[in-house]
């Protein structure tokens, strides 16, 4: 089940994958994929299953096919670090995508712009349109509503007794919507919402307004 919201008079669809569609622009927003992180862990001896690498690309393909957007905008930290074997997998994935692709650069995006340009991917420090400001790091700017990533928000949903369910989430306040990390093995920053904030927790199949 999806969740539809309105920000600065624009309409967005929140998806359980952690991606969201900007309907007016037909732009799919995806944050903090951190491609290459699993290969980095494996290189230094972490027992991360190799199939987890394929899982990121399977999920990217599924969400792209589901929405069929005109543009895919990666909201920073597309790659975790420098080049490794996952770049070739990414290049193959790009070659099979019909949408144009842009990257709002994040702090982990250190791979040369020339590599992205060779794949037809444009890189921006930020994107502004229709009172919406797309950045990687959270920002506050007069007259704009900020959509960003970076923090990998999560929420601890407490049940009866001492039961706690830890879920990734979209975190919305008066000035920002912070997107969850899309990638596997990225970790979470646990959100403590304030009055007036909204938490949209995500499971494998649903986006649920829990606060």
22-48 per-position pLDDT tens digit: 999 999 999 999 887 655 554 544 545
Q: pLDDT for 182-196, tens place per residue?
A: 987 677 889 889 999
Quick one: pLDDT at residue 44?
44
Number of domains in the chain: 1
Q: Which helix (H) or strand (E) holds 113?
A: helix 113-118
The Cα–Cα gap between 148 and 64 comes to 20
Quick one: pLDDT at residue 52?
65
Which CATH number does the domain housing residue 204 bear?
A: 3.60.21
Task: Tell me: pLDDT of 12 over 50.
Answer: yes
Region 60-67: mean pLDDT is 97
Q: Which helix (H) or strand (E) holds 66?
A: helix 51-67
Q: pLDDT for 142-189, tens place per residue?
A: 999 999 999 999 998 876 667 888 899 999 999 999 999 998 767 788
Quick one: pLDDT at residue 187?
75
Quick one: pLDDT at residue 36?
75
**Rounded mean pLDDT of the chain?**
89
- Domain interval for residue 41: 3-209
């Amino acid at each position: 089940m999806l969740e539809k919201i309105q920000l600065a008079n624009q309409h967005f669809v929140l998806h359980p994958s952690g991606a969201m569609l900007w309907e007016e622009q037909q732009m799919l927003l995806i944050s903090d994929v951190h491609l290459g992180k699993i290969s980095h862990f494996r290189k230094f001896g972490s027992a991360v299953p190799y199939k987890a690498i394929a899982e990121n690309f399977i999920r990217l393909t599924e969400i792209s096919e589901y929405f069929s957007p005109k543009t895919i905008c990666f909201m920073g930290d597309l790659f975790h670090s420098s080049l490794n074997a996952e770049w070739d997998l990414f290049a193959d994935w790009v070659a099979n995508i019909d949408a144009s692709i842009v990257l709002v650069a994040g702090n982990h995006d250190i791979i040369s712009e020339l590599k992205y340009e060779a794949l037809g991917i444009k890189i921006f420090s930020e994107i502004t349109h229709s009172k919406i400001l797309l950045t990687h790091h959270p920002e506050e700017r007069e007259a704009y509503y900020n959509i960003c990533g970076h923090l990998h928000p999560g929420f601890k949903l407490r049940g009866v007794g001492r039961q706690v369910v830890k879920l990734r989430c979209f975190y919305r306040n008066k000035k920002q919507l912070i997107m969850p990390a899309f990638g596997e093995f990225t970790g979470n920053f646990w959100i403590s919402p304030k009055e007036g904030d909204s938490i949209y927790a995500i499971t494998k199949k649903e986006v649920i307004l829990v606060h």
